[in-house]
Amino acid sequence: MNDQSVALYDMTFPQMQDWVVQTLGQPKYRALQLYHWLYQRRVVDIADMTDLPKALRDTMSARGQVMTIREVTRQVSRIDKTTKFLFALSDGVTIETVIMRHDYGISVCVSTQVGCKMGCKFCASTLGGLIRHLRPGEIVEQLIFAQRLLDEEGLRVSSVVLMGSGEPLENYDASMAFVDIVTHPEGLKIGQRHITVSTVGLVPAIYKLAEERRGITLAVSLHAADDETRSRMMPINKAYDIARLLEACHYYYEQTGRRITFEYALIADHNDSVDDARKLAALLQELPCHVNLIPVNYVPERDLQRTAPAQIRTFAEELNSLGIPATVRREMGGDIAAACGQLRALHSPQEVTR
């Protein structure tokens, strides 16, 4: 982007109205037209926005940019058509986005940062640290890109998870601008309850989000049932321990009425014993929630092994029998480098080995 140009997908609807009126000197309704072109017809060339006057299209082309991300490569699973994109941003750094087809609909997993600084011991996205935050538009464009591909089959994205690389609650404003943009009734109209924000457990940000009383789902990466184990796996636990984290989760539930999702990656001999399941059940006893059990994805640099399938079932059954709803996340795209951060590591090794 040159200095004067703005990224159109960065703007919430009110921001677009301001831009149209104040910068372009146009009537407000032009913002509505523009929003429809961007989000409902998903046109990426301003020249194609044919109900806008030609002179206005020319001015907008000079001052605004539509797609700022570029596809570097794509992998499609032969098993379940899970599609993983590697995108390059305007400064050349890369992020991943995934489309997953479930029986209940299609979900898209978007990244919110380039890299991550949270340092979780099982995760590939954090290997080279945090490079930078994404702008709201860079998050939105991932979704538009995915939706445009699905448009070819007449399909719609039904849910979005902010579970790609990065910590969404650390890039709070951009993540929430993303939510505002994609839920807008004149835009993509994704329902708040079809959006899940996943966090490593940034307690102050969870309180802030609770206060906003949005209808979005909060997913918390718990991964352990005691502080010693969790601190070993996730450095953030030293700043906000399990007790403080769960207090914040209770508050989120009280404020929003939304049941919390807990993610729990099962790693052989680390956090997967029946005793761990019992401790977990005790922690979550009073909180309306759901536990998502994830067989840990193998990351070569980490060398952690998955819990065996029989033990995963035992763990899930133990939780269920103690009154905690738990399901095992089905693996998607098992034949492609779909695990977190792996496509990026393959194509942009310089970004992850710094």
Angle separating helix axes 274-284 and 309-321, nearest 10 degrees? 30
Quick check: 167 binds ligand SAH (CB under 6 A)? yes
Choose the stretch contacting ligand SAH; rule: CB under 6 A; options: 20-28, 37-45, 87-95, 289-297.
289-297
* Token pair of 54 as six digits: 């030609």
Quick check: 120 binds ligand SAH (CB under 6 A)? yes
CA dihedral angle for residue 9, residue 110, residue 227, residue 297, rounded to 10 degrees: -160
Q: Compute CA distances 33 → 144, 183, 282, whole Å.
A: 17, 17, 53
Report the alpha-carbon distance of residue 163 to residue 107 in Å, rounded: 11
- 249 classed as catalytic: no
Quick check: 265 binds ligand SAH (CB under 6 A)? yes
104: DSSP letter: T
Quick check: 198 binds ligand SAH (CB under 6 A)? yes
Quick check: 175 binds ligand SAH (CB under 6 A)? no
Quick check: 299 binds ligand SAH (CB under 6 A)? yes
Query: Strands, DSSP E only, in 253-311?
Result: 260-266, 289-295
First to last CA, the chain: 27
Residue from 131, 143, 340, 352 in contact with ligand SAH (CB under 6 A): 340
Q: Active site residue: 116, 120, 249, 340, which one?
A: 340
Report the alpha-carbon distance of residue 28 to residue 103 in Å, rounded: 41
Residue from 221, 237, 271, 307 in contact with ligand SAH (CB under 6 A): 221
Residue from 39, 122, 145, 253 in contact with ligand SAH (CB under 6 A): 122
Residue from 123, 144, 157, 242 in contact with ligand SAH (CB under 6 A): 123
- 96 classed as catalytic: yes
Q: Which residues bind ligand SAH (CB under 6 A)?
A: 118, 120, 122-123, 163, 167, 198-200, 221, 263, 265, 294, 296-297, 299, 339-340
Residues with a catalytic annotation lie at 96, 340
